[in-house]
């Protein structure tokens, strides 16, 4: 069919509080909504982690607030083992889904992808709005799990839906199977332990809802990027943030349906008497389980990790994009090896689909497939290394401005290296004999997900806050936030490796049962103190956000002297992003310190005619607007 | 800072690859898809709906791939794999959905040929056939329940109910889309934009419908002719 | 700020490296035949990891120090990269990583890509919430039939069918007893949910999956008593699903396994008290 184009009636900006700020179709508002959700979720997740640390360091502590809120799970304010495990589960679930899979993509991506490619909005604004609200509903359902298990009355109400799958009120704050929810523990219902009734069922439903929200978002990102780039914005002129959001969306598109499928099967095993994951002849808590037969617990693991591995790249890729972008901006230098960076993003994304078995080396699956997964896993280290080299290359010969976003971007490189490099250890089958399910694993994924990814979000926040809200964030508070957090996260997570070296298993409510763990006491206490300080300092960040909204220094349209399209438009951007004007792009996104140019930055919209001396002082690489040298 | 609007002659530079319209060093067209002319209002490209529906299809396909892989794995994992006898009405289901793909194609081509009446008529017929498919699925369920075959009876029956329910749900979504398009045939269309949107939507709906058809055939074969 | 950041990164790097090289937090001593091979593969890996980690961090610290904006009129170097450099460091990285990957399969292959050697001593391990059960075949070397219908958590935890003649001399206990310097085969099963067999000194870990009987083997070479922990979240008391593994010298072991069931239990408890845990 011949492609024709039409004029579009520009829709007037919405009026009324509800249409402007609640049920808004504007990608900018939706982006902020996602960020607010993430800021709330991360607070809950951090509080849970501090409670966990206190329990591990000083078992038997009386925590007054627990006694009031959860008298069954924490009698006398002393956390029970099952209460601890429910914290582990909810901490992981909340952080991975409602923080790492919302803010980087749904938050900043929603806000800035359309602007950075010169579009008016996302391709499907209604779907975009729905994606946020569906995600929020998912979060509310997850919070319900806390109360369904934590509160007797609510738990009893849920029990009416079915004793086995829906009994609640066990006193925990949710299910106790970890965010990975392995079957059959998660499939058997109440008989498998406290928290495994209503807690698990609500958890599954929450995640299923989240899957749908995520898929709606991914659909939008991909279509928008492919269909709505403005004139001159070729793929190879897009900022690396856009490449990252695009690849992340593709990963989400293809991995979340698998989790959804697995979740449906798990729920059916719980409520419909099916046996997808539950074998027969189980003897649980003193009696035989007659209902199931022939299911495969490994099948759950395959489905979960086929999703789970791409998920961790979903969590980190936007941060990598933001880091590249911010490093280049404040180094006043083009990104080193733009094309290699794009290739690396793709390679990481694609390879990410072929390595899920490295979570399952000792699961009982075929040891031959373990070998294949292991070799593929170490291969993923290569594109990650390329990115690291290129970040260093970007900083070499630079003229670095140490603003707060830059500090966090540099911090990202540091913690990503620290966390990623231990993947070389964990990815080997022979070493997994020792390290599987120990704190060495927890060290690895916290450094990459819980730190690097969060640093990407911090960098993005400090960087884009002026554009979003028209005011600068306070630099002094920002630097204070950075320094304590940077030192703090290393203090927390590097010792985790040492605990892993001792053989310390994950998800243990206490460490006092085993002699081989007795030398861990000092480490455990040290980490808890560091964690309390690091979590506490985040108050400065929250305070800075709120204070700057009202009293921050007013921001110009381009306070950072950056080059991409969001800095060509007003601060904050108008409803249609470019005030009726259509941006035209003439060059690549990282034209800094161009010899002969009047400023040390040239915006993407700056037309040809600027004298560009392409030979002087330049090494081979990609040209500023994508051409090869 | 607003981008400077300059004359088009300065912008085209084949060697340096500057400006819109030319190719960059990597051979990519410098235009964004659906990009706009300088000074003109933003264009809408109906490719948006087509891209969107393909993206959605790949996602839905992944869901069914996951469930199908589970089906295959499960068939080998226990000792209780006893495929149910196919309810005969499913042959009717298959025939109905195949015909409905055909009628959907006729509808789309009518629209392309500016035959509005034909478009609307065949759209309605497709919708009715779609409903007929869903009814036949419910009949199949009823037949099985009468024989005492439920979701929990054995793993094959579990998958049968699950696949038909999941497919039926997505097909129902397609029916709602068709219903919306049918309603739209009554509305006045006055702009080029809305006409393009209609074409784009009809095309996207057709692609989706064919996908639902193909998916049914694949599931049907998997359930009753594999192993 | 650049200098401060550079120094901070270097200090963090030094501290992290120190944490490893100080040896204060290290593996417990290996007691299996394949253990030293795991440890040497780890050493190779951690040296590569350490060099990569340290050089990247030192490099990062150096560039943020050296290339800080000194408020002069100099501009940054205008460079989009260097293709040759990209190729070189990509190839070098790939060679190192793939080599590590291949080397890292050797011990795994030696343990998992072939079955237990003839002459292995076989024990059936049946895990449950929250205990370990070990089923010994007794003097006849044949395992009696088990049936979940017969399970009683106190009197018959693995559901031994005493109508089966092979079951007559079978013993079921809570401690794992295996011979030193002779291959041990374990048949790993679970009654309820997934657990994981973990003895750090053995350098061996394997999940126990309900519905599966997983065969693994290894050879313990150092006599002693070692703690056994569960390494797969199995419910609320996962953290204290504890037992012991006794590695006995050949003669002590041979005497023990020929004993009839009740004498077996008594003798085993005596040995459990005789041997001590390692010094940590």
User: Does the pLDDT of residue A620 top 80, yes or no?
Assistant: no
A97-101, A229-233, A476-480, B13-17 — which is least confidently predicted?
B13-17
Q: How confident is the model at residue A426 (pLDDT cuts 50, 70, 90)?
A: very high
- Is there a contact between C67 and A398 if contact means CB atoms under 8 Å apart? yes
Q: Calculate what percentage of chain C has a pLDDT beyond 90.
A: 98
Are C59 and C198 within one domain? no
* Average pLDDT of span A479-489: 98
Binned at pLDDT 50, 70 and 90, residue B5 comes out as very low
C118 — contact with chain A (CB < 8 Å)? Answer: no
Give the domain extent around A320.
Answer: 311-554
Shared domain for C189 and C217, answered yes or no, is yes
Mutate to test the interface with C, among A430, A442, A524 (most CBs of C within 10 A): A430
* Residues C11 and C88 grouped into a single domain: yes
With contacts defined as CB-CB under 8 Å, which chain A residues touch B33?
A: 226-229
Interior CA angle at B10 toward B7 and B12, to 5°? 110
Candidates A279, A582, A586; nearest CB to B19: A586
Residues C178, C40 within the same domain: no
Residue ending a domain, among A295, A329, A356, is A295
What's the distance, Cα to Cα, between the start and end of chain A in Å? 38
Q: Is the pLDDT reported for residue B103 higher than 50?
A: yes
Residue-level pLDDT at A621: 46
The answer on pLDDT for A8 being more than 80 is no
Q: CA-to-CA distance for C160 and C138, rounded, in angstroms?
A: 13
More confident residue, B193 or A615: B193
In DSSP notation, A98-120 reads HTTTTIIIIIIIHHHHHHHTT-S
| Phi, psi angle pair for A505, to nearest 5° | -75, 155
Residue A215, chain B, CB below 8 Å: the answer is: yes
Q: Give CA–CA dist A169/A171, Å, rounded.
A: 5
Question: What is the total count of domains within chain C?
Answer: 2
Whether residue A301 lies inside any domain: the answer is no
How confident is the model over A370-401, as pLDDT tens digits? 999 999 999 999 999 999 999 999 999 999 99
Q: Is A126 exposed, middle or buried (0-12, 13-18, 19+ CB in 10 A)?
A: exposed
Packed helices A475-502 and C2-21: angle between N→C axes, nearest 10 degrees: 10
> pLDDT (tens digit, 9 = 90+) per residue, A99-136?
999 999 999 999 999 999 999 999 999 999 999 999 99
CA-based nearest distance C168→chain A, Å: 23
Same domain, C138 and C226: yes
For the cut 90, the answer to whether the pLDDT of residue B26 exceeds it is no
| SS3 (DSSP) at B184 | helix
Instruction: Kindly indicate the confidence band of residue B2, based on its pLDDT and cuts at 50, 70 and 90.
Output: very low
Distance from CA of C265 to the nearest CA of A (A): 23
- pTM of the complete model: 0.94
Q: Are residues A582 and A471 in the same domain?
A: no
Region of poorest pLDDT, from A34-43, A606-615, B80-89? A606-615
* Interface contact flag, A118 B78, Cβ < 8 Å: no
To test the contact with chain A by mutation, choose from C7, C28, C60, C233 the residue with the greatest count of A C-beta atoms within 10 A, namely C233
CA distance A103 to chain C (A): 27
Same domain, A332 and A449: yes
Per-residue pLDDT band at B46 (split at 50, 70, 90)? confident
Give the mean pLDDT of C232-250. Answer: 97
Output the domain CATH number for residue C194. Answer: 2.60.40.420
Same domain, C105 and C152: no
pLDDT band, residue B186 (cuts 50/70/90): confident
Q: Is A487 domain-assigned?
A: yes
Residues A113 and A244 occupy one common structural domain: yes
Count of CB pairs separated by less than 8 Å, A with B: 252
Interface test mutation site (partner B, options A2, A3, A8, A297, max chain B beta carbons within 10 A): A8
Q: Has residue B43 got a pLDDT over 70?
A: no
Residues C57 and C120 in one domain: no
Distance from CA of B157 to the nearest CA of A (A): 9
Q: Report the C-alpha gap between C16 and B227 in whole angstroms.
A: 56
Query: Average pLDDT of B5-21?
Result: 35
Q: Distance between terminal CA atoms of chain C? A: 44
Instruction: State which residue of chain C sits closest to A392, comparing Cα positions.
Output: C60
Give backbone dihedrals phi and psi of A279, rounded to 5 degrees, phi first.
Answer: -75, 175
Q: What is the pLDDT of residue A616?
A: 43
C135 with C265, same domain: the answer is yes
Q: Average of pLDDT values for B168-178?
A: 97
Is C280 domain-assigned? Answer: no
Q: Helices in chain C by DSSP H: which ranges?
A: 2-21, 35-66, 83-103, 106-112, 250-257, 261-274
- Do A604 and A588 form a contact (C-beta atoms < 8 A)? yes
Do residues A244 and A252 touch, judged by C-beta distance below 8 A? no
pLDDT of B17 strictly over 60? no
Regarding whether C127 and C53 lie in a shared domain, the answer is no
Is residue C73 one of the residues assigned to a domain?
no
Residue A5: what pLDDT?
54
Q: Considering CB atoms only, which of B58, B151, B196 is closest to A253?
A: B58
Q: Name the domain count of chain A.
A: 3
Banded model confidence at residue B35, pLDDT cuts 50, 70, 90: very low
Residue C61 lies in a domain: yes
Residues 37-76 of A with CB under 8 A from C: none
Chain A contact partners (≥3 CB pairs within 8 A): B, C
CA distances (Å), origin A319, targets A299, A416, A420, A443, B180: 32, 10, 14, 19, 40
The answer to whether residues A87 and A180 belong to one domain is: yes
C-alpha distance from C258 to closest chain A C-alpha (Å): 30
Distance CA C271, CA C280 (A): 21
- CA–CA dist B122, B102 (Å, integer): 10
- Residues on chain A touching C60 (C-beta within 8 angstroms): 392, 395, 410, 413-414, 417
DSSP string, A125-162: HHHHHHHHHHHHHHHHHHHHHHHHHH-HHHHHHHHTT-
Same domain, C221 and C195: yes
CB pairs under 8 A between A and C: 386
Please indicate, yes or no, if residue C161 is contained in any of the structural domains.
yes
Residue A587 and residue A474 in one domain: no
Q: What is the pLDDT of residues A427-444, one digit of tens each?
A: 999 999 999 999 999 999
Q: Indicate whether A546 and A567 sit together in one domain.
A: no
In the predicted structure, residue C181 carries a pLDDT above the cut 80: yes
Asked if A374 and A428 touch (Cβ cutoff 8 Å), the reply is: yes
Instruction: Please tell me which chains touch C, using 3 or more CB pairs under 8 Å as the contact test.
Output: A
B chain contacts of residue A120, beta-carbon cutoff 8 Å: 42
Of C85, C97, C104, the CB nearest to A431: C104
Q: How far is A114 from chain B (nearest CA, A)?
A: 12
Specify the pLDDT at position A296.
96
| C89 and C122 in a common domain | no
Count of helices and strands (H, E) across chain B: 5, 1
Q: Assess whether pLDDT exceeds 70 at residue A412.
A: yes
ipTM of the assembly? 0.97
The whole-number average pLDDT for the span A579-596 is 94
Task: State which residue of chain A sits closest to C68, comparing Cα positions.
Answer: A400
Which CATH code, of 1.20.120.80, 3.20.20.100, 3.30.360.10, 3.60.150.10, is assigned to B47-225?
Answer: 1.20.120.80
- Looking at the fold, whether A539 and A404 belong to one and the same domain comes out as yes
A375 is a domain residue? yes
- CA–CA separation, A358 and A355 (whole Å): 6
> Comparing C-alpha atoms, which of C67, C70, C61 is closest to residue C6?
C61
Which whole number is the average pLDDT over B177-198?
Answer: 85
Same domain, A251 and A318: no
* C111: Cα separation from own chain's centroid: 12
CB burial of residue C159 (10 Å; 0-12, 13-18, 19+): buried
Please indicate, yes or no, whether residues A242 and A315 belong to a single structural domain of this protein.
no
C40/A contact by beta carbon, under 8 A: no
Q: How far apart are CA A506 and CA A490, in angstroms?
A: 19
pLDDT grade for B42, boundaries at 50, 70 and 90: low
In this prediction, residues A4-32 reach a mean pLDDT of: 81
How would you classify residue A186: left for phi > 0, otherwise alpha for psi between -120 and 50, otherwise beta? alpha
Q: Do A195 and A234 share a structural domain?
A: yes
Record the tokens describing residue C270, joined without a space: 């005596």
* Contact state of A402 with C68 under an 8 Å Cβ cutoff: yes
Distance CA A79, CA A141 (A): 24
- Spatial separation of the C-alpha atoms in residues A177 and A295, rounded to whole Å: 19
pLDDT at residue A9, as a whole number: 54
CATH number, domain of A423, equals 1.20.210.10
Q: Which is nearest to A254 in space by CA: A356, A152, A145?
A: A356
Q: Are residues A119 and A267 in the same domain?
A: yes
Q: Residues C165, C91: one domain?
A: no
- One domain, residues A489 and A402: yes
pLDDT confidence of B187, banded at 50, 70, 90?
Answer: confident
| Residues 6 or more apart whose Cβ sits within 8 Å of residue C18 | none
pLDDT at C170 > cutoff 50: yes
pLDDT of residue B156: 96
For residue C6, give its domain range: 2-68+82-111
Q: Is the Cβ of A151 closer than 8 Å to some Cβ of chain B?
A: no
Mean pLDDT of C58-73: 94
Each domain of chain B, given as residue ranges in start order, spans: 1-43, 47-225
Res A146: pLDDT: 94
Contact A507, A91 (CB under 8 A): no
**The predicted structure's pLDDT at residue A35:** 98
Q: Do B52 and A215 touch (CB under 8 A)?
A: no
**What pLDDT is attached to residue A610?**
54
Q: Which is it for the CA torsion A119, A125, A128, A133, positive or negative?
A: positive
Over 90: is that where the pLDDT of A498 sits?
Answer: yes
Among A183, A248, A308, A584, pick the best mutation site for testing chain B contact (most B Cβ within 10 A): A584
The interface residues of chain A toward chain B in range 318-357, judged by CB-CB distance below 8 A, are 339
Within 13 Å and on the Cβ side, how many CA atoms surround C151? Answer: 23
Mean pLDDT, chain A, whole residue set: 94
- Of the candidates C78, C204, C207, the beta carbon closest to that of A433 is on C204
């Amino acid at each position: 069919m011949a492609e024709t184009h039409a004029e579009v009636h520009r829709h007037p900006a919405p009026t009324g509080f509800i249409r402007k700020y609640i049920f808004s179709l504007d990608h900018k508002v939706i982006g902020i909504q996602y960020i607010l959700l993430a800021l709330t979720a991360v607070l809950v997740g951090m509080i849970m982690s501090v409670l966990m640390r206190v329990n591990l360091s000083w078992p038997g502590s009386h925590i007054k607030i627990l006694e009031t809120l959860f008298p069954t799970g924490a009698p006398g304010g002393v956390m029970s083992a099952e209460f601890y495990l429910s914290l582990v589960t909810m901490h992981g679930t909340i952080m991975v889904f409602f923080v790492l899979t919302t803010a980087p993509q749904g938050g900043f991506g929603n806000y800035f992808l359309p602007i950075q490619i010169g579009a008016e909005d996302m391709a499907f604004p209604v779907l975009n709005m729905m994606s946020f609200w569906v995600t929020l509903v998912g979060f509310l359902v997850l919070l319900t799990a806390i109360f369904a298990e934590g509160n007797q009355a609510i738990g009893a109400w849920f029990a009416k839906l079915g004793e086995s799958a829906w009994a609640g009120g066990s006193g925990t704050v949710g299910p106790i199977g970890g965010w990975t929810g392995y079957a059959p523990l998660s499939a058997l219902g109440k008989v498998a332990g406290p928290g495994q009734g209503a807690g698990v069922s609500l958890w599954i439903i929450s995640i299923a809802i989240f899957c749908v929200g995520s898929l709606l978002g991914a659909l939008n990102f991909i279509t928008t990027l492919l269909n709505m780039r403005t004139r001159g914005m070729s793929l190879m002129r897009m900022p690396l943030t856009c490449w990252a959001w695009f690849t992340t969306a593709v990963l989400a598109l293809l991995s979340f349906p698998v989790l959804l499928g697995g979740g449906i099967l798990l729920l059916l095993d719980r409520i419909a008497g099916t046996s997808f994951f539950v074998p027969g002849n189980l003897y649980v808590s003193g009696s035989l389980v007659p209902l199931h037969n022939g299911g495969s617990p490994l099948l759950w693991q395959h489905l979960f990790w086929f999703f789970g591995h791409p998920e961790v790249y979903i969590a980190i890729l936007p941060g990598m994009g933001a880091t590249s972008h911010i490093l280049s901006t404040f180094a006043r230098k083009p990104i080193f090896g733009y094309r290699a960076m794009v290739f690396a993003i793709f390679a990481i994304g694609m390879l990410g689909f072929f390595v899920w078995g490295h979570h399952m080396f000792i699961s009982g699956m075929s040891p031959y497939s373990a070998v294949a997964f292991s070799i593929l896993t170490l291969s993923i280290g290569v594109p990650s290394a390329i990115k690291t080299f290129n970040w260093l290359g970007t900083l070499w010969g630079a003229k670095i401005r140490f603003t707060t976003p830059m500090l966090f971007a540099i911090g990202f490189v540091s913690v990503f290296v620290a966390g990623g490099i231990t993947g070389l250890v964990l990815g080997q089958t022979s070493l997994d004999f020792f390290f599987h399910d120990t704190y060495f694993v927890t060290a690895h994924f916290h450094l990459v997900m819980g730190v690097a990814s969060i640093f990407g979000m911090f960098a993005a926040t400090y960087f884009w806050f002026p554009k979003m809200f028209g005011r600068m964030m306070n630099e002094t508070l920002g630097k204070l936030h950075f320094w304590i957090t940077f030192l703090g996260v290393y203090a927390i997570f590097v010792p985790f490796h040492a605990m892993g070296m001792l053989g310390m298993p994950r998800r243990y409510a206490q460490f006092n049962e085993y002699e081989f763990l007795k030398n861990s006491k000092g480490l455990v206490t040290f980490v808890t103190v560091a964690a309390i300080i690091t979590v506490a300092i985040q108050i400065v960040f929250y305070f800075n956000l709120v204070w700057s909204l009202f009293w921050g220094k007013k921001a110009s349209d381009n306070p950072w002297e950056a080059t991409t399209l969001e800095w060509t438009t007003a601060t904050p951007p108008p409803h249609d992003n470019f005030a009726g004007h259509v941006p035209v792009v003439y060059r690549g996104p990282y034209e800094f310190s161009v010899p002969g140019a009047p400023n040390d930055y040239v915006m993407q919209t700056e037309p040809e005619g600027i004298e560009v001396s392409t030979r002087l002082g330049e090494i081979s690489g990609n040209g500023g607007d994508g051409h090869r040298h | 800072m607003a981008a400077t609007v300059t004359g088009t002659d300065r912008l085209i530079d084949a060697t340096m690859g500057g400006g819109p319209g030319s190719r960059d060093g990597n051979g990519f067209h410098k235009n964004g898809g659906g990009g706009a002319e300088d000074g003109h209002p933003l264009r809408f490209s109906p490719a948006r709906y087509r891209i969107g529906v393909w993206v959605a299809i790949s996602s839905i396909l992944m869901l069914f791939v996951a469930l199908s892989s589970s089906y295959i794995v499960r068939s080998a994992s226990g000792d209780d794999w006893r495929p149910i006898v196919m309810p005969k009405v499913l042959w009717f289901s298959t025939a109905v959905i195949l015909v409905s793909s055909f009628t959907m194609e006729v509808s789309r081509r009518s629209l392309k040929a500016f035959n509005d009446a034909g478009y609307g008529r065949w759209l309605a017929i497709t919708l009715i056939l779609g409903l007929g498919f869903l009814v036949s699925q419910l009949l199949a369920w009823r037949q099985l329940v009468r024989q005492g075959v439920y979701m929990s009876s054995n793993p094959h029956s579990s998958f049968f109910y699950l696949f038909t329910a999941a497919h039926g749900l997505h097909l129902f979504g397609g029916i709602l889309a068709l219903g919306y398009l049918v309603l739209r045939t009554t509305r006045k269309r006055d702009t080029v934009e809305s006409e393009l949107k209609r074409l784009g939507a009809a095309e996207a709906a057709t692609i989706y419908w064919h996908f639902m058809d193909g998916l049914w055939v694949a599931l049907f074969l998997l359930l009753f002719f594999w192993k | 700020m650049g200098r401060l950041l550079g120094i901070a990164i270097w200090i963090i790097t030094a501290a992290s490296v120190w944490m490893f090289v100080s040896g204060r937090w290290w593996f417990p001593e290996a007691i299996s035949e394949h253990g030293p091979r795991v440890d040497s593969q780890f050493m190779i890996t951690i040296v590569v990891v350490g060099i990569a980690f340290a050089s990247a961090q030192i490099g990062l610290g150096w560039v943020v120090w050296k290339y800080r904006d000194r408020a002069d009129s100099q501009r940054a170097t205008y460079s989009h990269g260097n293709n040759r450099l990209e190729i070189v460091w990509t190839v070098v990285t790939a060679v190192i990583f793939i080599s590590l990957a291949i080397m890292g399969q050797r011990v795994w292959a030696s343990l998992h890509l072939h079955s237990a050697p003839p002459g292995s001593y076989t024990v059936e391990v049946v895990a449950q919430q929250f205990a370990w059960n070990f089923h010994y075949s007794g003097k006849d070397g044949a395992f009696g039939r088990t049936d979940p219908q017969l399970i009683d958590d106190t009197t018959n935890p693995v559901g031994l069918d005493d109508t089966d003649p092979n079951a007559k001399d079978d013993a079921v206990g809570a401690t794992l007893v295996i011979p030193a310097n002779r291959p041990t085969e374990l048949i790993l099963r679970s009654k309820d949910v997934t657990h994981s067999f973990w003895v750090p000194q053995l350098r061996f870990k394997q999940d126990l999956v309900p519905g599966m009987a997983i065969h693994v083997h290894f050879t313990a070479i150092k006599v002693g008593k070692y703690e056994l922990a569960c390494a797969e979240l199995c419910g609320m008391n996962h953290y204290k699903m504890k037992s012991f593994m006794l590695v006995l010298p050949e003669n002590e072991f041979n005497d023990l396994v020929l004993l009839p069931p009740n004498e077996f239990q008594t003798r085993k408890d005596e040995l459990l008290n005789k041997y001590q845990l390692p010094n940590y």
